[in-house]
Chain A
Amino acid sequence: MDRINDIIIAGVGGQGVILAGTILTRAFLTAGFDVKQAEIHGMAQRGGSVESFVRRGEKVHSPLVRRGGVDAILALETSESLRWLDYLRPGGLVVASRETIVPVTVTQGISRYPQAIAEEIGRRTDRLLFADTLSLARQAGNAKAANVVLLGLFARNLELERSLWEETIARCVPERAREVNQRAFALGWEHFD
């Protein structure tokens, strides 16, 4: 398993991109890495695309990732897996939800929703994991936990212990949402087992 250090989490405002980034960041910190996270607040939250960059290493300088230097993309919405694809290194990992959110630009005919998403990603890498995170999250008890399902899918591809992730999630989500999120993480973690 090659080391995954530079990660982009992409999604749409309201999907929980920032929380997913926070969990990753805290897990890496607990595991002893230097870590930086960059994200955009403000206008991007009004239904716009949202991304969070997470970088870890012995020493991390810039909070920004580099074109062609990203090891993994986590997409909480299917088409968002393409937005940062040219930042992915060849052979990098893509973990994407099957949830689609059609933007108003498509409804208005200004833009078009991509069709051959998996094929497009395939031109860059053969490491692609797709899952119906929304259904799995509902199974866990709340559709909002789709971000943590995706995190579970992704975490399975890293070297960190499962217990470390579970402890980190417990610290990052409010008490009342803890159980649902632990179930969501487990469903993601075990999905391809």
Chain B
Amino acid sequence: MSIARNSEKPARPVGVGVVISGNEAIARGAYEAGISVIAGYPGTPSTEIIENAVKYHDLYAEWAPNEKVALEVAAGASFRGARAMATMKHVGLNVAADPLMTVSYTGVNGGLIVVVADDPGMWSSQNEQDSRHYARLAKIPVLEPADSQEAKDFVGLGVTLSEAFDTPVLLRTTTRIAHSRSLVHWGDRQIPPEKALERKIEKYVMVPAHARRRHPLVEERLGKLSELANQVILEVPVSRTGGLTTGEKDLAGAIGRRLLGLNRLEWGDLEMGFITSGVTYQHLREVFPTATVLKLGMTYPLPARTLRELAHMVKDLYVVEELDPFLETEIRALGIKVAGGEIWPRVGELTPDLVAASLAAFESSGEMASLPGKGDKNPRKMDSLPTATPVLPPEKPVSSRAAPFKEEAWFSREEASFKEEAPLRPPVLCPGCPHRGVFYNLKRSKSLVSGDIGCYTLGALPPLSAMHFQISMGASLGMAQGLAKAGGGEDGEKVVAVIGDSTFLHSGVTGLMDIVYNQGNVTVLILDNRITAMTGHQHNPGTGRNARGEPAPEVDLVKLVEALGVERVRVVDPYDLEATGQALREAGQEDGPSVIIARRNCVLLDRSSWSPLVVDAEKCTGCRLCLGLGCPALTSSGKKVTIDPGLCTGCTLCQQVCRFDAIGEPGGAR
């Protein structure tokens, strides 16, 4: 079969290497594994899976309104017999957790993969939860690829597991897998054997009587999966194949069957053994090139027998993992003595430097002797080989265990070792961003603002600083209701909830329903920029286009909020500062729910209309009032303000703010 049939993707010969991101590789993996239905909601770092999947016309791929719906779509497709996938970021899995817990009980018909992309270091997230815990909670296997090749291959292996064990499979990546590019060899698309539609009510309808029969099967499944996990690939360095000791040969015979290929034992020095997974494996290999490493591709359930045998083989056994001690806790529960949590940080992203330096610091601190297992060793069978020595960076190794990768927060930076340093350059609202006028007004009205997830969360940063609460998708509305019922602003002022169009459709509608139903004194501002902007312009049910960019029915936000029972709905142009301020003032005086829809396309959607303004230096008094907008196009050189023509879009907010008529179109049109 031809891989490029019906596909816009450039035809690449099967087997030839390409360098692609983990997300592109997962989309490719879905194509090759014969997956035919994919649904997801955008969220960094998972978004590009769907964006790439839509390029394969043999697949159906959609943006769902939220992750829960996405997983339900995938589950339905699986029940119908198709191979299916749902994609989301880590916090999205919280939204999808409800169906996940019970799809674990129903099991699948067609293979079902749930991709979850974690974000250690919180490059673009509100928390750094370790989603592997969901595997244990839902009692399903979790696979962790360590590069793009594995990201692709593990989709196929996951589908095999899913169908063989009647279970959904979690495929967990992290930012450095999802957004790193590495070499991948293309394969062919497999066309799975057609599965008949089954109406098995006792399997797929989880009423208590049915669920009670399913739960024991779930427990049994975990045991079988754990046994399967022991089928590891054994890798022995070429230099040592002739020189294996008898004990090593025994172990190789015991656990060296190359079957499933998810877990891999890489033979090396026996002084130090490491258990690891995901991108951390790559960091570890970088700094300990010759150590013995058990690289787990499936991190739940664990290969208990292999782990016990490994513990007997090596002198000191370490677990190196990013974020939570997930593997470590499980391995300790097996009665195996390992170290890990004492050495490597539990917060932020691991790096090769941190993997090396944390261990070096720990060894030199003398705490090594107090490690669990020291002096009370896992009994050893083998003679030790020379110790694996970490390859430290040539100079200036990071000294602190918690040394950050770069800035820890938007406005802090680790102590600089150089006299001159790069200026702070946090993300900011773009020049011409339609959200700016809204937040400028909110700042001036000193409103108490409950915010949400999107570009507009940047309205919380100086100089606008006009958002006071923000936790999760859709939460602005429920929080505003609580804030209002608990007293509102300092003097009882009406609370303002700010939410974007896509976020409102994701999980804001029910919050607004609550505000209406229980008559909260809240002004709800829906920032309708006609796109899901934060994650890079994905369509949503309000944009009139689907994931492929084809025309689609469009949610009418005004009708929707009216149908919920909102009586006062205003639509304003956020580029009109006065009109937006007026709408806010009026709504603030009304008792009960009010909705303002601030409608203006994301400025990045159409660059053709950009027309930069200029400052008339003679008229500019240097009052700096316009700088309060926080627009990157405005800078002050000396006393006067100037506009960067390469950045300005001509949104005119600064022109509206200026009291001296000093800003206008070039050529003195004003």
Contacts and interface: CB of A to CB of B under 8 A. Distances in A.
Interface of A: 12-13, 22, 25-26, 29, 34-49, 60-64, 66-69, 79-83, 85-86, 89-90, 101-108, 110-117, 119-120, 123, 143
Given A36-B147, A105-B423, A111-B423, 18 more contacts: A34-B183, A37-B181, A37-B182, A38-B176, A41-B124, A42-B124, A42-B535, A43-B534, A44-B124, A49-B422, A49-B425, A62-B282, A64-B283, A68-B395, A83-B406, A103-B424, A108-B630, A143-B646
A85 B396 CA distance: 12
B513 to A, nearest CB: 30
B401 to A, nearest CB: 15
Interface in B393-412: 393-398, 406, 411
Interface stretch (B189-197, B251-259, B310-318, B455-463): B455-463
Contact of B19 (A37, A67, A103): A37
A8 B417 CA distance: 19
A120 B421 CA distance: 8
B397 A47 contact: no
Contacts of B427: 13, 43-48
Given A44-B123, A46-B429, A64 B423 contact: no
A41 B19 contact: no
A40 B17 CA distance: 23
Contacts of A60: 182
Nearest to B462: A108
A108 B423 CA distance: 12
Contacts of B420: 82, 114-117, 119-120
Contact of A64 (B176, B463, B630, B646): B176
A68 B181 contact: no
21 contacts: A12-B425, A29-B19, A37-B19, A37-B182, A38-B180, A40-B123, A41-B47, A46-B427, A46-B429, A46-B458, A48-B426, A62-B283, A63-B181, A64-B351, A81-B422, A83-B421, A86-B396, A102-B635, A103-B425, A113-B423, A114-B420
B45 interface: yes
B286 interface: yes
A36 B181 contact: yes
A80 B422 contact: yes
Number of chain B interface residues as a range: 35 or more
Contacts of B393: 66-69
Q: Which among B279, B398, B422 has the greatest number of chain A C-beta atoms within 10 A?
A: B422
B279 to A, nearest CB: 7
A144 B462 CA distance: 29
Contacts of A37: 19, 180-182
> Can you list the 6 inter-chain pairs with the closest CB atoms, starting with the nearest?
A42-B124, A46-B427, A83-B422, A42-B44, A48-B427, A63-B180
A38 B283 CA distance: 13
A119 B397 CA distance: 24
Contacts of A80: 422, 425
B465 to A, nearest CB: 11
Interface string B272-315: 00000001001101100000000000000000000000000000
A107 B627 contact: yes
A89 B393 CA distance: 10
B352 A64 contact: yes
B462 A43 contact: no
A105 B285 CA distance: 39
B418 A67 contact: no
A106 B283 CA distance: 36
B428 interface: yes
Q: Which among B351, B427, B630 has the greatest number of chain A C-beta atoms within 10 A?
A: B427
A103 B632 contact: yes
B419 interface: yes
Interface in B167-204: 175-176, 179-183
A135 to B, nearest CB: 13
B182 A114 contact: no
B634 interface: yes
Nearest to A54: B181
B421 A82 contact: yes
A46 B455 contact: yes
Given A64-B351, A83-B422, A114-B420, A41 B44 contact: yes
B423 A29 contact: no
B442 interface: no
Contacts of A81: 422
A103 B124 CA distance: 20
A84 B213 CA distance: 58
Contacts of B285: 61-62
Given A41-B179, A63-B182, A108-B627, A79 B353 contact: no
B92 to A, nearest CB: 14
Nearest to A37: B181
Nearest to B182: A36
Interface in B521-561: 534-536
A119 B419 CA distance: 10
A106 B428 contact: no
Contacts of A112: 423
Contacts of A110: 411, 424, 462
B411 A107 contact: no
Given A64-B351, A107-B634, A25 B423 contact: no
A69 B357 CA distance: 14
Contact of A62 (B18, B279, B632): B279
B43 to A, nearest CB: 9
Q: Which among A13, A40, A46 has the greatest number of chain B C-beta atoms within 10 A?
A: A46
Contact of A105 (B425, B634, B644): B425
A98 B632 CA distance: 19
Nearest to A63: B180
A96 to B, nearest CB: 12
Contact of B428 (A25, A46, A120): A46
A67 B396 CA distance: 7
Contacts of A106: 423, 635
A63 to B, nearest CB: 4
A47 B535 CA distance: 14
B597 interface: no
B123 A63 contact: no
Contact of A36 (B180, B424, B635): B180
